[in-house]
Amino acid sequence: MASLSSTSMQALRLPCRLTPSFEPRSRLYSTAPAGSASLKVATVPDRGVIEVKGRDTVKLIQGLVSNDVRKLERGDVDLMLACFANAQGRMLADVLIHRLPPAEDGTPRWLFDTDARTMPSLLSFIKKFKLRSKVTLKDVSDQWSVVQLWSGAGSATPPAELLGSSEDRVVSLDPRAPDMGYRAVVRNGQDRLSALSGAAAEVDGSEYTVHRIVQGVAEGAIDFPEASSVPLENNIDYMNGVDFRKGCYVGQELTARTHHTGVVRKRIVPISFYLPGTPAPTSLAVDPSFTTKLPPALAEVRSKPITPPPPPSQANGQGGTDGGDAAAPKKPTRGRSAGKFTTGIYNLGLGCLRLEQVARWQDPTTAQRDGLGDDAVHFTCENEEGQTILVKPWIPHWWPEAPRRASEGQERTSREG
């Protein structure tokens, strides 16, 4: 059973600084063969591969993506996360850029690992800017597969000889989160996974989906609806996919302005689903026995106060003496929007939620005991059958900062002023 300890909601009430961004190349690699019980390998669902090569590759892509691809050109990294955005700063696609060995003439060769469902529109977008650039773009999804390796127990790593860039595969530490494992593109063939599966147990792609949700890593067209959200809401900055010092690129203005104002009101977080009348989960763990139908993609998540506010007449001190509305039973509130559900499997999912409300979330059975009182909220969502499901948000341990309630932000501003 996959699990992740969450930062408690009690701790989220105070501003705190957590683990800083990690350096993907700083991990030490094992030189001993890893046992298959320690590592898992899976083909990543719904990913395609674009080959990008030519002498103008760096110049073209540098002006289109959020990260500094000159690091790939220099060989500082073999793998980099980046995103494409439109001129309004709305995100079009996430890409993991793998560096193949350069061509004989020294020109770069890269593989874009991206969502297969939005690949045609991404190719069209890049070609609008290509003009006469000496760059070749080609869909090579029939030649390459995208796979993920991660530790099923402990901190196992692949054998050192599997890592790095070659003509048949590129295996690199996944830069998006500390425990994501290793991302790879492997040339297709009868034995395309033989070297990797010899060092790891091959599992279904659904296990990878569970793994990335537990790590709080969003990916692809379902989590990032095309032209509908901004990179910072999607945690592209937290996942080492934005370089704020690189200079101009398409969509850069909104991303930079949002970063420098420091105001990101919502972000994608992992969530657990549970049913009314049952206690909230105590850890972010997958439960394959959870068979309740999940909400559709982009279903609204609503926040509701745990302690309903008093009727207007009571709040005004009238005590209901007019015998009117004060005596009538209070209608259930629909609450307010807390954000959107994006993707899920079993009892787990991801949602783009308002951080101020995430910081106020509390289990209804413990809210009064823990002192949140009237400020506490809980989250609900509905599936297509109209069934209400409860939602618990979690904060990944690797985030550089935990969210705060609005009142805490005001108190902090007053102290700093």
Residue with tokens 């995208």: 146
Task: Count Cα neighbours of 129 within 13 Å in the Cβ-side half-sphere.
Answer: 18
* Domain residue extents for the chain: 18-223, 266-416
Q: Please give the CATH architecture assigned to the domain spanning 18-223.
A: 2-Layer Sandwich (3.30)
Q: Look at residue 29 and tell me whether its pLDDT is greater than 60.
A: no
Average pLDDT (22-36) is 37
Q: Where are the beta strands (DSSP E) in 54-90?
A: 79-85
Picking from 350, 336, 354, 342, the residue whose alpha carbon sits closest to that of residue 403 is: 354
Q: Look at residue 145 and tell me whether its pLDDT is greater than 70.
A: yes
Q: What is the pLDDT of residues 75-110, one digit of tens each?
A: 999 999 999 999 999 999 999 999 999 988 889 999
Rounded to whole angstroms, how far apart are CA atoms 293 and 382? Answer: 10
* pLDDT at position 26: 32
The residue ranking higher by pLDDT, 296 or 369, is 296
Q: What is the pLDDT of residues 315-346, one digit of tens each?
A: 455 554 444 454 455 555 667 999 999 999 99
Number of C-beta neighbours around residue 183 at 10 A? 24
* pLDDT above 90 coverage of the chain, percent: 66
Residue type, position 194, single letter: S
Picking from 56, 170, 38, the residue whose alpha carbon sits closest to that of residue 113 is: 170
Q: Is residue 183 a contact partner of residue 241, using CB atoms and an 8 Å limit?
A: no
Contacts of 255 (CB under 8 A, 6+ apart): 66, 85, 89, 230, 231, 232, 242
Q: Which of 36-50, 151-165, 275-289 has the lowest mean pLDDT?
A: 151-165
* pLDDT at position 370: 57
Average pLDDT (42-70) is 97
Q: Look at residue 125 and tell me whether its pLDDT is greater than 80.
A: yes
DSSP 8-state assignment for residue 17: B
Measured at the CA of 386, the angle between CA 362 and CA 368, to 5 degrees, comes to: 15
Computed over every residue of the chain, the mean pLDDT equals 84
The residue ranking higher by pLDDT, 12 or 63, is 63
Residue with tokens 């609005």: 406
